[in-house]
Amino acid sequence: ALMADDLGYAGVGYHNKEALTPHIDRLATDGIILERFYAHSTCSPSRTSFLSGRLPIHVNMDNPTRPEEGGGGIPAAMTTLAQKLQEQDFVTHLVGKWHVGFSHESQLPINRGFNHSFGLLTGAFGHESHRQYGRAYVDLWRDDRPAFGEDGAGY
């Protein structure tokens, strides 16, 4: 399964010949395309909705972008899609932006059904610098630890 956030309708080859996405196109040809997921206006509620199978109003309406803000995420009592996949012996990976809670260790992707994760826990960051806009700290994680030196920047 592949979930792509902020991917426009014309951003894939199976809808637009100019978009070169052969691997995604092959997944689409061999699988099921779900492209009618109506998202919330901000990313964290959309992500929590997708992972929980519930509308954002029932899961999370917060969109925190800094750890000190707290909030956000999926309540611990709710099961995620990744946890259900693990129950069926799937190996799950999260690569990219999490933004589904990060103020407590229990909210990390590896504690919400992902065997492994590599990416950013928060939102509002520079994709190359992995730094939050206007902040000095780097937000790049591998599983439950900062991924020091893994971005090629030598920070």
Catalytic residues: 43, 99
How many residues are there in the chain? 155
Which pair of tokens denotes residue 100? 């589904």
By the 8 A CB rule, do 146 and 138 touch?
yes
By the 8 A CB rule, do 82 and 95 touch?
no
Expressed in angstroms, the distance from the first to the final Cα of the chain is: 33
